[in-house]
Each structure stands twice: as C-alpha cells, then as structure tokens.
Structure 1
C-alpha cells in the first residue's frame, strides 16, 4: 500500500564537523530492498485510509491538548502519511540528524565503529530498519526538518502498517486510526510544548557517546563478566536483547548516561500510552477492545518474530511502555494532570530511571 506524502526536504549539512557513525543512505537502501510489501487494498481503500489519517491527526491533537493542557497556543498541523519505504528513508534521516547533533559535542577522535566501518554498519542498520519498517505504526521524530513551519520535527503515520494492524485486530477502522494518532500527537506536543526537551534529549545522547572511548579490546574484556551476569541474574532464562548487553558492557559513567535516556523515553512513551486510552470511549468507542487485542498481539507472533523482538530489544521497549504508563497513571491519580505536568517544567523534574518504577518517590521529591 502506498500513499501520497510530502517529499523529504533536501538534506542540510547539519553534520559538518561530526564523524558519521554509519552510512545511513546505505541503511535506507538496504531496508528498502529487504522489506516486505504492505497489505493488498484497492486504490479507493488506500485513498480513504490516507484521508482519514490526515483528518484524525488534526482531531487527535485537539483531544490531547484538552486532556493534557499542553501546547494550547500552538498551531495544529496535519501528520505526514507515508508508506513503508518513505518511513525507512525518514527514520534513517532522523537518526543521521540526531547522531550528528550528538557527535558534534564530542571532543575526542575515537572511532565509534572500531573495525566495522560505516558501510558495514549501514548494512546492519538496514536489516533492523527492514524489520521495523513493517511494524511501526507512527512516529514523531523531533530531529527531522519540517516543511510545515519553523520548528523542526515531523509526525509520520505509516499507512500500510496501520491498515495491516487494524485488519489483524479486527477493530473499527476509524477508532483504530484515531487511537494511533492520539499516541503520536502526544509525542508531537511533548516536544513542541516543552521548549528544552529536544535539546535535552540530544545532549543526553551526546553525553553517552562522549564516553564511548573504550577500545574494542577493553569492551571484549568485559564480555565474560557480562555473560556471567546474564546467567546468574534473576531472569537468566530470558534474553536481555541488544539493550541489555549494551548496559552490561558499559562502564559506570556510560550506564548513568543511558539511565537518563531510558528514563526519559519511558516517560514519553508511557505518557503517550496513557493519553491514548485516557481520552476515553467518547472519542474512541472501542478503546477497551483495541487495547486488549493490541496488547495480546504485542505478546504473540511467530517464532521468528519473537526471536527478532528479543534480539532487537523490542520486548524491552514494550515493557517500557507499560512501566511509563503505570508511572503516569499513578501520578495523575494522586495529583491530577496539572500535578503530573511538573515533569515538563525543567530537566530536574524528570523522573530518574529508578523513579519510573517508584512514582511515589518522584512525588515525594517534586511535590513534597
């Protein structure tokens, strides 16, 4: 399934002075060759899906503003409806922009890729993007240049994946479209209504990368201990995925930087998951059914799909959604949405990684 969308703007030279971490153009090309095609639908069905996604992206943001109080004075813009190939190109572009911004803050000259090389890493990134390109329903990328105003950032809605997921779940099309748009519109408001959030995220990543100065030999020397840690851990029967191994191989400073990034992403994803359900059946009549079937689908899949989710850390991402949503629900229940919105007042008010699983601790620290 393909859809008309805005053409990606010319790539700026935002990475001047920063080392390229990998060949993102090759990553996008590799993903495009490997990725499966979308569901077969008629031209009229595809056109209707695109129109509804554009309409819902505007309506959804209005509902999110009313619930959260964020961005009430900002212009409401349509989301960009894209196909799988367009999402891959945009995702590669956004990752290139983000890593370029982060690497500009590095003062060392170490090679982040060791002996792998930018092209080899590009192929590997393409393999990951080819898998995600068939799964991602939508995405707000705050680092993509926008052609709809002065603020950077694009809201992408992947039409074939949304149609395929809705067919698999057997839920009302209009309800599911709105439900997905509520989540992504929440992300757009998070970054556009909180002026410091975009730079804070990039700076946090820059701090993480600035500590990646270990030689391949030093990293390999940590591997036996990391493996023993996995085997001896309380969840030794499950794979930690890429994220878990990265954490185990890091030194203390790197883990602290990663903790900040994971805490922020847990908050952002959990807040969006909470909002998409909290808007309620007045907006999405079948919201309870959609959430139940969507959760079951997240946990299912064939053997290969489950293996890939484990290796890529996607299962850990799903747990992150649930953890962040539980944090949000607890805080909103205790102090209301206005009290929850204290998280957006300054970086110091963001929850720590430990506090995302202990919202009462965040409440004591921020609200006394």
Structure 2
C-alpha cells in the first residue's frame, strides 16, 4: 500500500487506487465519504451512536448505508451477506408497566413531600415519569452531545492532521473523509458506552448531571429492580430512596439557575485539557476493517486515545470539576438522609450502598471515562457530605442553602479539609433567604 493512502484502507475488491490517477482517487474518496458520512455535520455521528446504544439494549445494529457491503482492507476477507453477526447479547429494554408507572409517580410525590422541611429550595419537579432504558437514552442524548462534542472535535482535528500535508493541499475531499471517519469512530464508542449506561442508571440525575428536560423527574424501574436484587432490601424502600435522590437533584438544579452552566463549564474546562494521543489513533485505525463494521459494532470502540494533560491548568480544572460534582452529590446525600430519617427502616444501609456506588462509579461510568477521558464521579463525596452536615449544624437549613445563591459563596476544596472550621467562620447568610434572582424563595 503506498504511503499516500493513510490508515491502510483500500477500495472494494482490495485494489489500491493509483494516487496519480485523479479519477481513481476521486472515486476512492467518494466511497469513503459515503461510508462514514456524519448526518447533520458535527464531530460525532450521533445517529450511529444512538443506533449502537439501542442495539446494546434490544439487539440489531446500524441501519442505512453507513457500511456498504464489499468495502474491505487489502487482503481482508469479505464476509458473506448472511454471516451471523458476532455481537453481545442485548440486555433488554422492557416497557414500563402501568403498575410500575403508578408506583414511581407515587414515590416521587412522597419524596418531594419528605424533602420539604429539609430544604430551603422549593420543589423543582414539574412533571413525573417512569422511563424505559431506551427512553432514558433518547431523552438524555441532547445533553450528551453538549458534553462530548468539544472532546470529539479535538479528536477529529487530530485525525485530520494525520493526512499528509501535501494531500491536504491537493485533495480537499480527503480531509472531509477523515473528519467523517472520526465522527463514525466516536459515534461507535459513545454509542457503546451510552448503551451500557442506559442499562444501569436509576434516574435522570443518577450520575449527578442534569441530563433530562428541566423539571422532569423520572426513574428507570427496570434498572431499579435489577439494582435492588443485590441489596436484599424491600423494593418499595429502594424505589423511594431513588425517588428522594431524584427529587433532591430537581430542587437543586431547578432553583439554582447558574448551577447547570457552572457544572457544564467545569466539565468543558477539564475536557479542554485532555490530550489526544495521535499514535493511539493511528494504531487503532490501522486495525479497523470497514467490511465488518456494520456487523460488529464493537470494532468501532477505541480506548486509551484521551489522556489528561499533566499541567497546572489541567490539575486546577480537574479540582474544580471534582469539587463541583462532590458539592452537588454531597448536598443530595445530606438532605436525602435527613428526609428519610426514621421513615425508612433500612436508610443506613441504603445510604452507604449509594455512597459506595457513586464514589466508585458503575461499570458503565468507568467505561465512559476510559473512552472519552471524563470521570463523572465525585471523588470527595464523604468530605462534601460532612461539610453540608456541619453547615446545617452551625447555620441551619436556610443558612446552608443560601450558599447556593452565588458560585463565589460555595465551599472550595480547602473547606473539605476542616468542615467545622469552614462552617463556623463562614458568613452567616441565614437571614438573607432566597429571592427571585436566584430562582428560590424566602423559606427559612
């Protein structure tokens, strides 16, 4: 294969196009562009991501003309059209029953009632729902686009730079083809990760980010039932504890208007310092066989291509992200445990199980971190929870929640080291209450 054709790809039948023949090269590039076209533009083929995520749940694979039959690497065997696909067994996507939906709605209603005396922030729940795994996927996809596109754009840029400079100058379509290829590769890896997440998440706010429509509180009954099997705790207690956590997230993100942008900005600042390993990209792409991409979605998965830069700026960005995630999750844990109190017999076991789950991250969260370089788990959850406990003890509920009035008022990383000292010396904001500008009321 001449060095002029990057990544080792060849046209149908394995014949190498002559780089000096404009007609052959135009046909070759046209076929590659068709193969990896990214609908709607952008750095990620999100249509492919959605299809692969859904395939993880229900089976099947990508549809349409993304992967034409007969396109192969030189010397690679072309599979028979009726060859059985060697794909993982789908985890399933059971529909939500009427009984499950009623139980979820009642749990969310009761949870919001229990939270009322424990939070100066009013209810953020405008609507309640029970989602299937597929519904969670479709409803949260817009936010995943916002989170992942900045990292994806850098990967696509790095892939484009792998095209020899003389080819970029002479053959514009090659650059477009490589960008489309990058979108397909990222669509494949993100689809696999999101499909795994959809099979594990318990609610909209389960991983600490506002992933769903504003004001929509939703649980995933199939995943709650699966998770509850390992706890040996009655189903209704597990469901109600998840509902408490979901309702608490809704209060926080619904009535602290700057918080959503603050968390996303912390994610984006950290993502901006993620390094794209060009050698890893080139090595991984050399192993891809376009002839089998449509039959084996796992072949699209790339790991280890994103690594954080070891710079002071990146370490500071990571600290800000971890602090933001920990403060959100610590507040939720704190108010939920207070609200559950003596009402749930197994609240201590539930609280500890959920802390371990969030601190460690589930298998799907770990997979997602490996794929795109972003860890969305709060590393300092226990310290953050202790901090909110201390603030409640010294300042009361209103004084504690008044810290959400402005990002500059929030505890910083140093406050985690001595929560009691921070709580004692922090300006008492309890009498300030909340106002319309912060999106909260004057409850105290």
Q: TM-score, length-normalised on structure 2?
A: 0.58
Q: What's the counterpart of residue 234 of structure 1?
A: none
Contact preservation (8 Å) 1:138, 1:158: yes
Q: Of residues 9, 22, 37 in structure 1, which corresponds to 2:91?
A: 37
C-alpha separation between the residues in 2 aligned to 1:57 and 1:98?
A: 28
Q: How does 1:287-366 map to 2 (within 5 A)?
A: 287-292=347-352, 317=377, 319-360=379-420, 362-363=422-423, 366=426
Q: Of residues 119, 125, 133 in structure 1, which corresponds to 2:190?
A: 125
Offset of residue 272 of structure 1: 0.9
Offset of residue 153 of structure 1: 5.0
Q: Deviations over 1:235-278 (max 9, x none)?
A: xxxxxxx99x844x243223323322221111111111222221
Structure 1 position 137 matched with structure 2 position 186: no
Q: Deviations over 1:337-365 (max 9, x none)?
A: 22321320111012223433442464366
Structure 1 position 111 matched with structure 2 position 154: yes
Q: What's the counterpart of residue 276 of structure 1?
A: 336
C-alpha separation between the residues in 1 aligned to 2:376 and 2:144?
A: 20
C-alpha separation between the residues in 2 aligned to 1:179 and 1:254?
A: 36
Q: What's the counterpart of residue 263 of structure 1?
A: 323
Which structure has the larger Rg over C-alpha atoms? 2
C-alpha separation between the residues in 2 aligned to 1:158 and 1:338?
A: 32
Q: How does 1:17-36 map to 2 (within 5 A)?
A: 20-35=42-57, 36=90
Q: What's the counterpart of residue 236 of structure 1?
A: none
Q: How does 1:76-95 map to 2 (within 5 A)?
A: 76-95=125-144
Offset of residue 157 of structure 1: 1.1
Gaps of at least 5 residues in structure 2 are 1-39, 58-89, 160-180, 282-302, 429-444
Offset of residue 121 of structure 1: 1.2
The residue matched to 2:145 in structure 1 has which SS? helix
Q: Deviations over 1:206-225 (max 9, x none)?
A: 4445x4496756999xxxxx
Structure 1 position 185 matched with structure 2 position 236: no
Q: What's the counterpart of residue 175 of structure 2?
A: none
Q: How does 1:182-261 map to 2 (within 5 A)?
A: 182-209=244-271, 211-212=272-273, 216=277, 246-247=307-308, 249-261=309-321
C-alpha separation between the residues in 2 aligned to 1:253 and 1:300?
A: 25
Q: What's the counterpart of residue 291 of structure 2?
A: none
Contact preservation (8 Å) 2:93, 2:133: no
Q: Of residues 103, 107, 119 in structure 2, which corresponds to 1:56?
A: 107
Contact preservation (8 Å) 1:79, 1:154: yes
Count of aligned pairs between the two proteins: 309
C-alpha separation between the residues in 2 aligned to 1:300 and 1:203?
A: 23
Relative distance call for 1:120 and 1:99 in structure 2 (3 A) is: closer
Gaps of at least 5 residues in structure 1 are 1-17, 147-151, 221-241
Q: TM-score, length-normalised on structure 1?
A: 0.68
Relative distance call for 1:252 and 1:60 in structure 2 (3 A) is: same
Q: What's the counterpart of residue 284 of structure 2?
A: none
Q: What's the counterpart of residue 226 of structure 1?
A: none
Offset of residue 51 of structure 1: 0.9
Q: Deviations over 1:134-179 (max 9, x none)?
A: 22111236464x4xxxxx3533311100111223322222222111
Q: What's the counterpart of residue 6 of structure 1?
A: none
C-alpha separation between the residues in 1 aligned to 2:92 and 2:330?
A: 28
The residue matched to 1:276 in structure 2 has which SS? helix
C-alpha separation between the residues in 2 aligned to 1:250 and 1:22?
A: 26
Offset of residue 54 of structure 1: 1.3
